[in-house]
């Protein structure tokens, strides 16, 4: 697996670490349980990182020196593609030819490296985009920076060269075909999963005690990277609208923002805190850094609902994790979120980013205990449909198909040459 710009060892929720990190980590670990040896290549960001680290039994993470030993913005990483790809090829050169059977690249930067490795090693390239520049640029948040033409061209090249493309949803599959002219036969829609052993229903009062939240509070939570694309500001604006309409909620409302700045959010790291102050809801707003493991489960369990107001999501793992914990989700009706959150079943979809629309949707669930209980029960059932085991099953089937097709193509070319 190639994951150039972010490592599966990093904590999701800040920097460039997010759902893709979880995807790579969970699928690699699950594959290793099936006896598949997995090596994940990522860029070294510190001189203290070992050349090779074990993520889980059967899963190695290779830190490839490419540029300075420090985090780099994605716009800076294109200059390190050559160095990263050279490091990947050198690692393979220490083995006998045919050591690697298949390459799965994640995000377009990794796809560029995978394209060359695939040709050098004579193995198929499977690629997952996770996000697409043309889709993001069509749904930019106000003031957000468009994805550069360099990325658009790079994605087009990877789509054209990959032997197989894995999309998170049928919506993303259609986008690859319509916007990038992908071969429909090469595109496979495979939904991500959720760790159903970790994310489970539990005591809301215990979770609130662990987080220091009042037992009778009305808790609206956001978990994710703090950047315009994820739109946490929409939740703050909606919460302020709720208080204007229902000032009696001021003593009970808690808006929980969990995550750290990344991407264009790094340009104004304090902007969200300043917005809370300007809206007069600083007393109701609580900021927390990204939470690992059990602490993140407590965040979901403690919340009356989790908001996912993103301008674009290829799927939305946070929405699925929250539902697995029995917490309804209010999500924007964009990208893959309608797959992750069936409207009126386990949460609500909002067709706009208007704070008034969001305030109404939030109140519809948070202030109606019976409605919340119904959505909560359905959320657990819905989340059970998704697991990393199921995702991995389908990935391995796709790998087998890609490998078989690749070998047949090689044999046909050899026959023509003869």
Binding site annotation covers 311? no
Binding site annotation covers 10? no
Binding site annotation covers 106? no
Binding site annotation covers 17? yes
Binding site annotation covers 21? yes
Largest interatomic CA distance in the chain: 83
- DSSP assignment string, 210-261: HHT--TT-EEEEEES-BSGGG-HHHHHHHHHHHHHH-GGGTTTEEEEEE--B
Find the helix packing angle between 369-383 and 355-366, rounded to 10°: 90
Binding site annotation covers 225? yes
Binding site annotation covers 168? no
Binding site annotation covers 408? no
Binding site annotation covers 83? no
- Angle at 308 (CA atoms; ends 164, 224), nearest 5 degrees: 80
Interatomic CA distance for residues 131 and 115, integer angstroms: 18
Looking only at the bridges linking them, the beta strands covering 59-64 and 52-56 are antiparallel
Binding site annotation covers 295? no
The dihedral sign for the CA sequence 385, 388, 393, 399: positive
Binding site annotation covers 230? yes
Q: What share of the chain is helix, strand, coil (3-state, %, to 5)?
A: 50, 15, 35
Q: Return all residues near 62 (Cβ < 8 A) that are at least 6 apart.
A: 39, 40, 41, 42, 51, 52, 91
Binding site annotation covers 80? no
Binding site annotation covers 12? yes
Binding site annotation covers 134? no
Binding site annotation covers 244? no
Binding site annotation covers 151? yes
Binding site annotation covers 11? yes
Binding site annotation covers 355? no
Interatomic CA distance for residues 111 and 159, integer angstroms: 9
Binding site annotation covers 300? yes
Binding site annotation covers 284? no
User: Binding site for Mg(2+), residues?
Assistant: 300-301, 303, 327
Q: Which residues are annotated as a binding site?
A: 5, 11-12, 16-21, 74, 107, 131, 151, 225, 230, 291, 300-301, 303, 313, 321, 327
Binding annotation for UDP-N-acetyl-alpha-D-glucosamine: 11-12, 19, 225, 230, 291, 313, 321
* Binding site, annotated residues for 1D-myo-inositol 3-phosphate: 5, 16-21, 74, 107, 131, 151
């Amino acid at each position: 697996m190639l994951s150039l710009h972010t490592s599966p060892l990093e904590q999701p929720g800040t920097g460039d670490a997010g759902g893709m990190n979880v995807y790579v980590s969970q699928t690699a670990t699950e594959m290793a349980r099936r006896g598949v040896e997995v090596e994940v290549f990522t860029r070294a960001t510190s001189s203290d990182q070992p050349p090779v680290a074990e993520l889980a039994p059967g899963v190695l993470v290779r830190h490839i020196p490419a540029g300075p030993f420090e985090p780099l913005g994605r716009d800076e990483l294109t200059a390190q593609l050559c160095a990263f790809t050279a490091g990947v090829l050198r690692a393979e050169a220490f083995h006998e030819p045919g050591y690697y059977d298949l390459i799965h690249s994640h995000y377009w930067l990794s796809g560029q490296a995978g394209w060359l490795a695939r040709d050098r090693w004579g193995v198929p390239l499977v690629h997952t985009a996770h996000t697409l520049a043309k889709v993001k640029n069509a749904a930019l948040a106000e003031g957000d920076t468009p994805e550069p033409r360099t990325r658009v061209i790079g994605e087009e090249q990877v789509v054209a060269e990959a032997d197989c493309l894995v999309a998170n949803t049928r919506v993303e599959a259609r986008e690859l075909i319509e916007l990038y002219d992908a071969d429909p036969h090469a595109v496979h829609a495979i939904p991500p999963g959720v760790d159903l052993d970790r994310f489970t229903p539990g005591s809301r009062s215990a979770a609130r005690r662990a987080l220091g939240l009042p037992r009778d509070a009305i808790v609206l939570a956001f978990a994710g990277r703090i950047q315009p694309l994820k739109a946490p500001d929409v939740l703050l604006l909606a919460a302020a609208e709720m208080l204007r309409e229902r000032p009696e909620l001021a003593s009970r409302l808690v808006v929980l923002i969990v995550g750290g700045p990344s991407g264009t959010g790094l340009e104004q790291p304090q902007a969200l805190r300043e917005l809370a102050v300007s809206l007069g809801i600083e007393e109701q707003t609580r900021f927390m850094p990204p939470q690992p493991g059990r602490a993140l489960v407590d965040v979901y369990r403690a919340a009356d609902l989790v908001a996912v107001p993103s301008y674009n999501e290829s799927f939305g793992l946070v929405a699925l994790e929250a539902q697995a914990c029995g917490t309804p989700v209010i999500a924007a009706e964009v990208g893959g979120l309608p797959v992750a959150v069936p409207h009126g079943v386990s949460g609500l979809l909002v067709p706009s980013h208007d704070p008034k629309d969001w305030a109404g949707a939030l109140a519809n669930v948070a202030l109606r205990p019976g409605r919340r209980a119904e959505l909560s029960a359905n959320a657990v059932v819905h989340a059970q449909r998704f697991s990393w085991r199921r995702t991995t099953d389908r990935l391995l089937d796709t790998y087998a198909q890609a490998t078989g097709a690749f070998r047949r193509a090689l044999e046909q070319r050899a026959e023509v040459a003869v």
